Amino acid sequence: MKLRDRLILPGVVSNESLADCSLEAQIIFRDLPMIADREGRLEDRPRRIRALLRPYDNWDIDKILIELESAGFISRYSVNGTNCVSILTFTKHQSIHWKEKESELPEPQQLPQDKSKLNPSLSQDKVKLDPSLQVEVEVQEEVKVQVEEEVRGIPFAEIIDHLNMITGKHYRIVDKTKSLIRSRWNEGFRIGDFFHVHIIKAKQWLDDPEWEGYLRPITLYSNKFEGYRNERDIPTRNLSDRSRRNLRTAQEFLKKYGVTDGSVTIGAFYGGDAEITGSLPDGTRQPKP
């Protein structure tokens, strides 16, 4: 692949948020436009990105992309099985040559089109709504969504409680977190899948000062969730005392709610014999009598 000529504006180089990133992340963000298409999109293939941009450096590109996404410089997404990276504000900083071909990569999935645009009779310039009625409609819609989620049984609290017990953090159930959980839930994942991801990634990151900060909803429940879910469970030894305490507390949580995930070796993870031996194939909750 031939690298493209791109502009590097002074505002990008002097960006304070970028300056807070690692040197590797700064370099990769500077170079990504050279392998992006005219819309600032490229395939999310870390090994290929390293081969194109840093072939002689043993850099962990996936880790760098996670850092850049967390800092708000890129977006990683998947559409119909195609994993992509989008450089945010790319088109504002680049002057694209008119001969450059159109992007062949899918856009991030958008929200459904505004119905008022489909039906001219519903446009705002023809129908003046009473502001109080509009507020009432919005409240009703919010309540409707909450009721639907209760009926579907999306266990936001249990998922975040389990994550907090493992990490020792105090993450709240904010709208962004609910949106991420809801997206994964609508893809067919269930509570056992979330616990599996918590356990697998905690094994890898909990005692690593550089990676522990990524044990958070925005990283764990992103479009990388399916990949995390399919990682194999490898027993981890030499956990710190703090980690063992957190994990034993989380084990009590699993016993309380009767939630198990048959694909994870609970005993090996917590450093003791597994008291939870059953498994629910779909990872759903089984209330204790």
Q: Rounded to an integer, what distance in angstroms lies between the CA atom of residue 270 and that of residue 249?
A: 9
Hey, what amino acid is at 205? W
Ranges 110-114, 133-137, 229-233, 257-261, most confident:
229-233
Question: Residue 38 has which token pair?
Answer: 């005219």
pLDDT digits (tens, 9 = 90+) for 72-115: 889 999 888 889 999 987 776 666 666 778 888 988 875 444 44
Question: How far, rounded to the nearest angstrom, does the alpha carbon of residue 71 sit from its chain's CA centroid?
Answer: 13
The reported pTM is: 0.42
DSSP assignment, residue 57? S
The set of residues, in sequence order, having a beta carbon less than 8 Å from that of 211 and lying 6+ positions away, is: 63, 204, 205
Q: Evaluate if residue 148 carries a pLDDT over 70.
A: no
| Helix (H) / strand (E) containing 22 | none
Question: Residue 268 has which token pair?
Answer: 């090996």
Q: Is the dihedral of CA 176, 180, 181, 183 positive or negative?
A: positive
- Taking CA atoms, 87 is separated from 12, 34, 41, 73, 208, in Å, by 12, 11, 6, 6, 28
**Where are the domains positioned within the chain?**
10-93, 152-270
Contact 6, 94 (CB under 8 A): yes
Computed over every residue of the chain, the mean pLDDT equals 73
Q: Evaluate if residue 289 carries a pLDDT over 80.
A: no
Please tell me which residue, 129 or 252, carries the higher pLDDT value: 252
Ranges 40-44, 114-118, 145-149, most confident:
40-44
CATH number of 10-93: 1.10.10.10
Q: How large is the average pLDDT for residues 197-218?
A: 88
Question: How far, rounded to the nearest angstrom, does the alpha carbon of residue 160 sit from its chain's CA centroid?
Answer: 14
Contact 87, 120 (CB under 8 A): no
pLDDT at 141: 53
